[in-house]
Amino acid sequence: MHHPAREYPVGRLLLAGLLATTTAPLLAQTAAAPALEDIVVTAQKRAQAVQDVPIAVSALDQVTLERLNARDIRDITGAVPNLVLTEVSIGPSMSQISLRGVNSQDPEKSFDPAVGVFIDGVYLGTSAFNLLDSFDLERVEVLRGPQGTLFGRNTTGGAINAFRTRPTGEFGIRLRGTLGSHDRRDLTGVLNIPIGNIVSAKLSGFILKDDGVYANGAGGATGAKDRWGVSGTVMVKADRGELIVTYDHQKDDSQLVPYIPRNITTLDPLPALRITQTVFPVPATITPGFGPDLLCLRGGRCDNPNDRRSFATDAHFQKSSLDALTVQGNLDLTDSLRLETVFGWRQSKEKVYIDFDGTERTVFNVYRGQDYHQLSGEARLAYNAGDALSLVGGVFYFESQYRLEQAIKLDLAMTGAPLPLGLLYANGSGDEDRHSARTVALFGQADWKLADTLTLSLGARVNWDHKTIDTAFFGAARAPGAPYSVLEGAIPTRPLTSSGGASKGWTQFTPRVILNWKPTPDLLLYVSYSRGYNAGGFSARAGTVPDVTTPFNPETINAYEAGVKSDWLDGRLRLNAAAFWNDYRDKQEEAIEPGPPPTFTSTTVRNVARARLRGLEFELSALPVDMFRLDASLGLLDAKYTRYSGFLGSGQYVSVPGQPAGTLIAADLSNLRLRRAPKVTASIIPTFTADLGEATFSINGQARYASSQYVEFFNSARGLIPATWTFDASAQIGFGGPKNDRYRVTVFGKNLSDRVNIASFTNSLVDFSTVSAPRTWGVELQLRY
């Protein structure tokens, strides 16, 4: 039996061991060693050393990202406590991010992510194309906890702030090629070009290809990657200001991560949810659980937890593109007053073809076509009156629109009709949605030095949000027996069955108070209160017009935090810690409501829950000797619902004898564990470096731990990721140039123990999962000139 509470001692022992093994050699050290780097971040909308910022922020510079052999930002997971970051297999370069137990599970564009992702100051309003490539990143800042004051809506869990390298003003080239397992073939490059005294440019690009790392027992999709992108930047830099313009174009024709069939023949009991409804239409025994699956019972493939292969042979790929323009401008109006602006425009087009059932049969295929664009702008004034007072304030504007057309090919045997598989299909039925969002905000923060060592920060933001949705549902485009493939997309002749629209606006105030005390240059202590919120909206995922057009309201988090940041032993030991308590109110969660036949229910989103999230976080970096560096992190999280009343539909309970079709069972769902919220996350990253005179040799390892976590809302055992250690390692030699960095050869391995776990699970008309990547390896060649 699983006992989550017993995972905490593992974390305490790990922390104690880290402190003991690190500080002992440091205290015995006699020869001077170089100090740890002091990364400059903009977590408070102004440049500060990371150790001077009174919030929990993890900063990873370009050197750190190279040590992790990061292909994209998923690889930062092990370096940041209480962070879970995975890929979503429903669109281009999509990520699912959970930070301190706060996440948004659904990547549908009508929902807002709970952890904001920013690139060069531009907020990415959708999960598509936010799994950022890491090659040209100068640094990544992970701000943990609500950031509603300076970063706005949809940062209740925190924010990932990524910045690319700027043009250097000098000629330079950096190329990196990677060959690896599964025929991996990556090529990335950056070219810096000086144009004049004040103008410089940078060109960069990447090509990422492989044959797919996932097993498919029928020879279908293996998740093969096929992405490329180019970027151009021009920077004009004068005495009192600068202007940086960047244009990006990306294409993603990758296969999606293949789905694994998880269909069952018997009752799959769920946790002991409290049934609160006492009178049923039919007196019966009610068991929370997923019942036997029609696909399995009618001759389809059944769940085999030991066989983690897909058998999908139907279309399972995408054709997507992104264009983006970013304009950054900074101007020193006076010696103490600075104007900073950032403008962003992004447009993406997606055509995605999904084989959800993961079997060799045609059972549940979906086409999703989406056009999305956003426009955003922010202008800030930053005032610095010496050490006594610092002010930052500004205005923010954001708007987005998207259009979705969806079509399905569904075997009618899955609707309960007494039919064998493969006889009749719902051909091309589906929905179309048009959605728009607009936000205007005013914000500001003042840092006032009360004494030489004591600073009070007061901040506030007011957001005005407005959203509109129009939805339409369509019947089958062709007769049930007629040939149809989702590769044909959404056929224009589909008959309209229902439609509607709605709009709604909200106003939200998010304050922040921070008191920090810095008794010495190497020690900072702080306490803070802040509020974050996720915007209200509409659920385009819902199955009826009333459910789509009924708005849900914003959810808020009141966050309390205390922390310490400290450097010791002449900057050779760094230990940061934070304790937090988050009160989650009006939480947006799944709500099951009555629906039309044949499903009789519709799952939508309502403000039906409250939760409490509390925890501890530790980050340690040490340089015991010149040749050895140790980085480690530990996150402890206690996340639970404090209130959650809802209903179970026929897909979430088993009744003996059975209830009439459409019966909803009232239940208390507060016993459920929050998804993507492991109680313990930890990492140990040792790096050994040796100066060989004409070359530099280094070995890097990474051990990451995450305790058990559910990835499925109702806590099905099929959606439980067990406690897992993951091990990566690399060795590299650099030579040439004054720093031995002109040429570099790296050999690396990922997931060396070849541990493959469930990565996602969805209970739907068919049950399906994805799995994590197996062991991979590669050789990387890099040229820097």
Per DSSP, the three-state class of 43 is coil
Q: What is the pLDDT of residue 2?
A: 39
C-alpha to C-alpha distance for 39 and 138, rounded to whole angstroms: 11
C-alpha to C-alpha distance for 414 and 423, rounded to whole angstroms: 11
13 pLDDT tier (thresholds 50, 70, 90): very low
Query: Looking at residues 46-75, what average pLDDT do you find?
Result: 88
CA distances from 505 to 112, 465, 502, 536 (A): 15, 5, 11, 8
Q: Is 142's pLDDT higher than 70? A: yes
CA distances from 456 to 146, 445, 450, 531, 564 (A): 18, 10, 7, 17, 16
Q: Is 547's pLDDT higher than 60? A: yes
Residue burial 381-414, b: 16+ Cβ < 10 Å; e: rest: ebebeeeeebbbbbebebbbbbbbbbbbbbbbbb
Question: Are the CB atoms for 249 and 259 separated by under 8 Å?
Answer: no
89 pLDDT tier (thresholds 50, 70, 90): confident
Q: Which of 654, 664, 669 is nearest to 281 (CA)?
A: 664
C-alpha to C-alpha distance for 658 and 663, rounded to whole angstroms: 10
C-alpha to C-alpha distance for 231 and 747, rounded to whole angstroms: 28
| Close Cβ partners of 236 (under 8 Å, ≥ 6 residues apart) | 198, 199, 242, 243, 244
C-alpha to C-alpha distance for 708 and 389, rounded to whole angstroms: 46
Q: Work out the percent of the chain whose per-residue pLDDT is above 90.
A: 75
Question: Are the CB atoms for 495 and 431 separated by under 8 Å?
Answer: no
Per DSSP, the three-state class of 345 is strand
Query: Strand 695-706 vs strand 680-691: parallel, antiparallel, or unpaired?
Result: antiparallel
The architecture of the domain spanning 4-784 is Beta Barrel (2.40)
Q: What is the pLDDT of residue 88?
A: 84
Q: Is 15's pLDDT higher than 50? A: no
Helix H or strand E encompassing 773: none
Question: Are the CB atoms for 674 and 614 separated by under 8 Å?
Answer: no
C-alpha to C-alpha distance for 698 and 687, rounded to whole angstroms: 7
Lowest mean per-residue pLDDT among 200-204, 393-397, 635-639, 757-761? 757-761
Kindly state the greatest CA–CA separation across the chain: 84
Q: Which of 600, 608, 607 is nearest to 649 (CA)?
A: 600
Phi, psi of 360 (to 5 degrees): -75, -5
Length of the chain: 785
Q: What is the pLDDT of residue 154?
A: 86
Q: What residue has token string 């084989």?
A: 355
Question: Are the CB atoms for 550 and 120 separated by under 8 Å?
Answer: no
625 pLDDT tier (thresholds 50, 70, 90): very high
What's the token pair of residue 128?
A: 């598509």
* Per-residue model confidence as pLDDT tens digits over 681-714: 999 999 999 999 899 999 999 999 999 999 999 9
User: When comparing pLDDT for 615 and 19, which is higher?
Assistant: 615
Query: Looking at residues 6-21, what average pLDDT do you find?
Result: 39
Phi, psi of 656 (to 5 degrees): -125, 110
Question: Are the CB atoms for 625 and 687 separated by under 8 Å?
Answer: no
Q: Is 356's pLDDT higher than 90? A: yes
Q: Which of 324, 440, 437 is nearest to 379 (CA)?
A: 440
Amino acid code (one letter) for 775: R
Q: Is 83's pLDDT higher than 70? A: yes
Beta-bridge partners for 436: 401, 468
363 pLDDT tier (thresholds 50, 70, 90): very high
Q: What is the pLDDT of residue 31?
A: 37
User: When comparing pLDDT for 75 and 557, which is higher?
Assistant: 557
C-alpha to C-alpha distance for 161 and 286, rounded to whole angstroms: 47
Q: What is the pLDDT of residue 24?
A: 37
C-alpha to C-alpha distance for 313 and 294, rounded to whole angstroms: 20
What's the mean per-residue pLDDT of the chain?
91
Query: Looking at residues 530-550, what average pLDDT do you find?
Result: 92
Query: Strand 430-451 vs strand 425-427: parallel, antiparallel, or unpaired?
Result: unpaired
Give the DSSP letter of residue 357.
T
Number of CB atoms found within 10 A of residue 775's CB: 16
My answer on whether omega of the bond before 596 falls inside 30° of 0, hence cis, is no
C-alpha to C-alpha distance for 107 and 117, rounded to whole angstroms: 14
Question: Are the CB atoms for 712 and 763 separated by under 8 Å?
Answer: yes
Q: Which of 424, 399, 396, 400 is nearest to 410 (CA)?
A: 424
Beta-bridge partners for 318: 352
Amino acid code (one letter) for 472: A
Q: Which of 470, 489, 482 is nearest to 430 (CA)?
A: 489
Query: Strand 115-119 vs strand 158-164: parallel, antiparallel, or unpaired?
Result: parallel
Question: Are the CB atoms for 147 and 463 separated by under 8 Å?
Answer: no
What's the token pair of residue 755?
A: 């541990």
Q: What is the pLDDT of residue 718?
A: 93
- Going from N- to C-terminal start, the domains of the chain cover 4-784
My answer on whether omega of the bond before 54 falls inside 30° of 0, hence cis, is no
Query: Looking at residues 445-460, what average pLDDT do you find?
Result: 95
C-alpha to C-alpha distance for 180 and 594, rounded to whole angstroms: 51
Rg (CA), the chain: 27
| Close Cβ partners of 366 (under 8 Å, ≥ 6 residues apart) | 353, 354, 356, 406, 407, 408, 409, 430, 486
105 pLDDT tier (thresholds 50, 70, 90): low
Q: What is the pLDDT of residue 12?
A: 40
- Give me the torsion for CA of 673, 770, 404, 494, rounded to 10°: -110
* Per-residue model confidence as pLDDT tens digits over 215-236: 999 999 999 999 999 999 999 9
Question: Are the CB atoms for 231 and 246 separated by under 8 Å?
Answer: yes
* Per-residue model confidence as pLDDT tens digits over 171-230: 999 999 999 999 999 999 999 999 989 999 999 999 999 999 999 999 999 999 999 999
Q: What is the pLDDT of residue 638?
A: 97
Phi, psi of 718 (to 5 degrees): -70, -15
598 pLDDT tier (thresholds 50, 70, 90): low
C-alpha to C-alpha distance for 120 and 139, rounded to whole angstroms: 10
Query: Strand 172-180 vs strand 776-784: parallel, antiparallel, or unpaired?
Result: antiparallel
* Per-residue model confidence as pLDDT tens digits over 273-315: 889 887 788 888 899 999 899 999 988 999 998 899 999 999 9
CA distances from 96 to 18, 114, 117, 233, 726 (A): 30, 10, 11, 29, 19
Q: Which of 606, 566, 571 is nearest to 587 (CA)?
A: 606
What's the token pair of residue 545?
A: 């017009």
CA distances from 676 to 84, 166, 646, 718 (A): 7, 35, 21, 14
